[in-house]
Structure 1
C-alpha cells in the first residue's frame, strides 16, 4: 500500500466511529494515498495545517469542500435486491405472496436478457452512488450471467460491492419459469460466480466480493442448502439470506424442520462470521446469542419490515448482545434507494417498538418494549456507515487513518432544500440532524469511493 499523499480534502466532516456518538471535524484536512486510503487527518487546530494547505494548493492536489458543504462517509447498504429496481414502490400494499407471485418473480425472470440486465443494473448503481451509497450488498437474480455482469458494472462505476446469484431451486415453492433447474446446477453456478466475481474484484480498486445467496429456506431444497453450506466452508465466501423475516416464513421453517430459521441455517453450514442475515425481527434472545457467538451480521431493513414483516427488529437488543448490525434499503421491499430514508425510518420504527401502536389499549397493554428500545439519529447514522462496514469486515465507514476514503459531499444551501436552519440551533448535532433528516438526492453533490470521484453533480 502506498503511503505517499496523492490528494487532500479540506473542509468540515461528520462521522461516527463509536456507536451512539459522532465526531465533527471542523476545518480539517484529510490526506489520501494513491490506493484511496486515508493517510492522516489534520485537525483544525494543528499548527502545520496552514503550510500543508498551501503546499497542496500549489501542487493541484487539494479539493476544498466549500462554504455550507460537509463531508459524510459513504453509506454502506447491506441488503439490496438488484433485479427488483424496476418495481420499487409498486404493490407494497399487497400481501407478500401476491407481491412475489404477481410482481417479483415475473420481473426477476427477465434478467436472463443481458441487454435488459445491463440497463437496469447500470441505472441502479448510478442511483445508489448519487445518493451516497459507496458500498452495497446485492442479491442478483437466479441467473448466473447477469449476476456476474452486475459485479462487472459495480467495478466499472467504482462502487464497492458484494454480489450474489439468488438460489431458489424447490419446484414446489418456485414458478416453473423462474427457478434453478436442480440443486447441482444451483451449487455449480454459485461456485462459478465465486470464481468470476473474485477475479473481477482483484482487478478493481475498491473491491468486489461474491456472496453465496440462498433466497430463503422456503424457496430451497435441503440438498441445495447443504451444498451451499459445503461451498461456504470450502471457499470462505460471504453468505446472505433472509432470516425470520415474517410470521409465514417462521412457521414454514418450524413445521419443516422442527426448528427455527437461525438454527436450520446454522445446521446447513450457512451461519458464520461472514454471514449477513436480512431482517430478523422474529429472532429471539437465545437465537441472538448464537448469532453473536458465531459473528453473524444482521441487515436491519426498517422500511421493508414495516411492509412485509408486521414487526420491528429490536436493534438495541441485538447491539447489547454483541451482534453486528447495519442498515439495508431492501430494494424493493423498501421503496427508496436512499439510505437517508432508511436512517430516518430506523429511528421512527424504534419509537413504535418502544411504545406499541394500538392507542385503543392502555399503555401497559400495547406491546411496546419500553425504555432502552429507541434508536437515536446518531445511532442510526452509525448503522448506515460504521455499522455496515463492521458487519462486512471492511475498512470503511469513517474518516480515520487506514480506512478507505469514501465520502459524500452534502451541500446545505441548495435551492428549494436549504438545510442551514437560518443560523438558529446551529450546534454540530443540529447541523448533522438536518442533513440526515432533510437531505434530498440533490443535496449530495459529489461522491468518492476509495479516493475515486464516482459521482459529480456539480459538473453536470
Structure 2
C-alpha cells in the first residue's frame, strides 16, 4: 500500500454524527491525514489489521495512539462569536438587549481603535476558543478596519479556521455618535478588508472575510443594499442578527412593514453563504425563504435565554431541513465552549417543551414534542455547523478537513468520569457533551495542523 500521501495517522476511539440524531462510535479506528490536511481514510480494525499500515506509520514516527481514556471528536464549530466583546463576557446579562448594547457593548467595541488593545484581547480570545475545542469560528469584529485585520491575522497565525467580519453600522438614529461610520466608509472598508484577508501571506482559505451588517436597527436601507450588491458580486459570506428579540423584530415591522428576513432578501443579503444569528421570531414564510436560499441559522441558546424574550423553534427548523448550527454568542454567554452550547440547546428546548408556569396543568404548560437531544445538539456543533458554512468539516470522512479534538477523561480533578463496564458508547458521548471542561481538551488539530498540545494524563 502506498503511504506517501499520508502525513500522519491517529489510532483510537472516536465519535461523530454523520446523520442528525445519530452518532457513530469508531472503536480503535485509524484516521489517516494527507499532505493537504484532509482525511485520507477512516479505517476500522478489520480494514487495516492485515495491511501493515499501522506498523509502517509507527515505524516512521507518523502514528499517534490515543489512550483508553482519550476520545477523538470532530472540531467544534462556533457560528456566532463577538470577538471584541471578550472582555465583557459575564457582565450585564440581566439587562434588556438595547440597554446591554448601549451600556456595555458599544463603549467597549469603540476601544478597538487601539491596536495594541486589539492584539491583546484577540490573542487571548483565539487561544481560549482553540483550547476549548473550537476549530472553526465565525467572528463579528468591531467597525474598525485595522483592528479587524488584527483579528484575522491572529486567527491565521494561531491556525484557527475563521470567518471574520468588519461590522457595519451607519444609522444615526440607533448608533451612538462615537461608534458609527457613514455608509460610504462602511462599504469602502468592507471592500478593503475583503481584499486584505484574501491576500494575507500564508492564507490558503483558512480565514475568510464576511460581509457584516450588524442588524437592521443599526443600518440604513441604503447601506444594506450596497453590502448586498458587494456580497453577491464577490461571492462573500454574510453574517447578521435576525429577529433576536421583541424589540428587534418590532423595529423592522415599524420601520419597513416587513420581517427581518424580507428586508435581507430584498437587499440581496440572503443566500447560501448567509448566517443568521438567533432567528427567534420567524414566520412560516420566513422559514420557507431561508430554506429556499440555503442560508444557515446560528442558534445561540444561552444568550437567547437572556435576551430573546422567547424560545427558538429549534425542533421545527431542524425537522424542516433548515441549515442550523450553534453559536456561543460571546459575550452574551458565559463561556466560549461549544459543548456547553450543546448542553444549553438541550435545556433550552426542554424548558420550552415542559413550560414553566406552576399555575397551568402539565398538559398546558409547554409546547409538546419540541425537545432536541444531546446527540442532535452535538450534530449541530459539528456536522450541522459544517453544512451551514457549506464546508467539508465536522465529520470524520474521507476528503473532509481534519479538524479534530482529543477529550481526555483521565485529566486530574475533572467532572468527566468514565466507568468501564457501566458506560456504553452512548453514555460516554453524553458525558463528553455534558461534563467536558477546557482541561479535558488536550489536543486540537485544524486542517491537519496541530494547534493545541497540552500535557496529557495518559
Structure 1-normalised TM-score?
A: 0.96
**Cα distance change on mapping 1:86 and 1:345 into 2, 3 Å:** same
The answer (yes or no) to whether the contact 1:3–1:39 under 8 Å persists in 2 is no
8 Å CA contact retained: 2:408, 2:456:
no
C-alpha deviations, 1:11-56, integer Å up to 9, x for none?
Answer: 1100011100000100111110111100011102225367211111
- Structure 1: gaps spanning 5 or more residues: none
2:397 aligns with 400
Tell me what 1:423 maps to: 420
2:385 maps to 1:384: no
Cα distance, 1:363 vs structure 2: 2.9
Q: Indicate the residue corresponding to 2:368 in structure 1.
A: 370
* Structure 2 contact 245–281 (Cα < 8 Å) conserved: yes
Written as runs of structure 1 = structure 2, the 5 A alignment for 1:3-402 is: 4-46=5-47, 48=49, 51-180=52-181, 182-200=182-200, 203-205=202-204, 207-366=206-365, 368-371=366-369, 373-402=370-399
Report if aligned partners of 2:301, 2:348 keep a CA contact under 8 Å in 1: yes
Task: For residue 418 of structure 1, report the CA deviation from its aligned partner.
Answer: 5.3
Whether the aligned pair in 1 keeps the contact of 2:411 and 2:456 (CA below 8 Å) is no
In the alignment, which of 406, 411, 415 is matched to residue 409 of structure 1? 406
Alpha carbons of 1:47 and 1:219: their partners in 2 closer, same or farther (altered >3 Å)? closer
CA contact (8 A) 1:412 1:443 kept: yes
Residues 289 and 321 of structure 1 are in contact (CA less than 8 Å); yes or no, is this contact kept in structure 2?
Answer: no
Task: Give ranges in structure 2 of 5+ residues lacking alignment.
Answer: none
Could you give the per-residue CA deviations for residues 64-117 of structure 1, whole angstroms, max 9, x where no partner exists? 112210100000100000000000011101121221111101100001111000
Q: Is the 8 A contact 1:14 1:25 kept in 2?
A: yes
How far did residue 365 of structure 1 move?
3.6
Contact 2:48 2:54 in 1 (8 A): no
Indicate how the Cα distance of structure 1 residues 3 and 335 shifts in structure 2: closer, same or farther if over 3 A, else same.
farther
CA-to-aligned-CA distance 1:101-151 (integer Å, 9 cap, x gap): 111011000011110001100110000000000000000001011111111
The SS at the match of 1:163 is: strand
Does the 8 Å CA contact 2:141/2:151 hold for their aligned counterparts?
A: yes
Cα separation, 2, equivalents of 1:343 and 1:298: 15
Q: Is the 8 A contact 2:405 2:445 kept in 1?
A: yes
My pick for the range that moved more, 326-335 or 91-100, is 91-100
State how far apart, in whole Å, the 2-side matches of 1:26 and 1:247 are. 47
User: Aligned in 2, Cα 1:174/1:37: closer, same or farther, shift over 3 Å?
Assistant: same
Instruction: Work out whether residues 344 and 436 of structure 1, in 8 Å CA contact, stay in contact via their aligned partners in 2.
Output: yes
Aligned equivalents of 2:359, 2:164: Cα separation in 1: 45
RMSD, aligned α-carbons: 1.6
SS in 2 for 1:176: coil
Superposed CA deviations along residues 200-245 of structure 1, whole A, max 9, x for unmatched, are 3x73356111100000000111111111111112111011100010
Helix, strand or coil for the counterpart of 1:12? strand
Following superposition, the deviation at residue 335 of structure 1 comes to 1.8
Contact 2:409–2:418 under 8 Å retained in 1: no
Secondary structure at the counterpart of residue 390 of structure 1: helix
Q: Distance in 2 between matches of 1:274 and 1:403?
A: 19
Instruction: Provide the rounded CA distance (Å) in 1 between the counterparts of 2:357 and 2:199.
Output: 52
CA distance in 1, matches of 2:221, 2:274: 19
1:88–1:335 contact (8 Å) kept in structure 2: yes
CA contact (8 A) 1:35 1:205 kept: no
Superposed displacement of residue 175, structure 1: 0.8
